Amino acid sequence: MSTNDAHTNHVLGGYKATLKNENASEEAKAHASEVLDQQGATTEIVSNTGTGDAHTNHILGGYKATLKNNNASDQAKQHASEVLNEHGASTKPLPQSQRNEHPDHERVKAGYKAALHNPRVSDEAKQKAEEFLENTD
């Protein structure tokens, strides 16, 4: 994605935000809607990264975080809940039995993998990393 494309996406994102902003005037919302229509932009979640599922999951994770945020308004929480329901995502946390044992399980695994390739890591530590990785997959 070029810098110009990224800038355009940010500008269009601003117009989309205007449509949802309760403090924006009707005139501002009408202008934002007109610009979005001219650009052929959609107000639905769309991935620009080419990694569709990962990007969408990241966005949905943000909406899920909104539900737990004490500083989020009731209106924001309601909108987040609606978006999650539209995408078939649960608004409830996974049961403990379905979660990874460690909250940053993937990052821990990545650290052990990196240790295997680091020349400054001792053979003993590399052995421990190999054992950990064998037992977690």
pLDDT tens-digit map of 94-107: 655 555 555 677 88
List pLDDT tens digits, range 1-25: 567 778 888 888 888 888 888 888 8
**Pairwise CA distance, residues 59 & 11, whole Å:** 18
Per-residue pLDDT tens over the stretch 66-112: 888 888 888 988 888 888 888 887 777 665 555 555 567 788 888 99
Burial class (CB in 10 A: 0-12, 13-18, 19+), 80: buried
Task: Let me know if 129 is exposed, middle or buried by CB neighbors in 10 A (0-12, 13-18, 19+).
Answer: buried
